[in-house]
Amino acid sequence: MKKDIHPDNYRIVVFKDFSCDKSWLTKSCAPSKETIKWEDGNEYPLVKLEISNQSHPFFTGKMKFVDTAGRIDKFNKKFSKFAKKTEAAAPEAENKEA
């Protein structure tokens, strides 16, 4: 194994999936500014998750709509200008043919 390529600051942290309210304690070097009190009474760094194996449809077998940070709205806003051009271009094309 190569030396000095792996982080050496592993510590015990709590990962919490807020979509299904599940959390677990494990070792990680993921950065975190928040802490949480765990079941054993100790405080550990908290890493917040939007989706994990506890809530992902592939693992749970249940379909669930997850719209993170308005992705659909952002997509519609980004590509709405193209939809308007095609709608406006259609009547002009009919006028040219006549």
User: DSSP readout, 36-71?
Assistant: EE-TTS-EEEEEEES--TTT-HHHH-------GGGH
Q: Specify the residue for token string 């040219």.
A: 96
Assigned domain for 15 exists:
yes
User: Do residue 77 and residue 57 come from a single domain?
Assistant: no
Number of domains in the chain: 2
* Rounded-to-integer distance, Cα 14 and Cα 44, Å: 6
Assigned domain for 88 exists:
yes
Assigned domain for 2 exists:
no
* Rounded-to-integer distance, Cα 9 and Cα 39, Å: 23
In this prediction, residue 13 carries a pLDDT of: 94
Residues of the domain holding 86: 67-98
Assigned domain for 86 exists:
yes
81 vs 96, residue with greater confidence: 81
| Spatial CA neighbour of 45 closest among 15, 7, 75 | 15
User: Do residue 18 and residue 44 come from a single domain?
Assistant: yes
Q: Dihedrals φ, ψ of 93, to 5°? A: -65, -35
- Model pTM score: 0.55
In this prediction, residue 45 carries a pLDDT of: 94
User: Do residue 60 and residue 81 come from a single domain?
Assistant: no
In this prediction, residue 35 carries a pLDDT of: 93
Read off the pLDDT of residues 11-56 as tens digits, 9 standing for 90 and up: 999 999 887 888 989 999 999 999 999 999 999 999 988 777 677 6
Assigned domain for 1 exists:
no
In this prediction, residue 79 carries a pLDDT of: 82
66 vs 77, residue with greater confidence: 77
What H or E segment, with its residue span, contains residue 75? Answer: helix 71-97
Coil vs helix vs strand at 92: helix
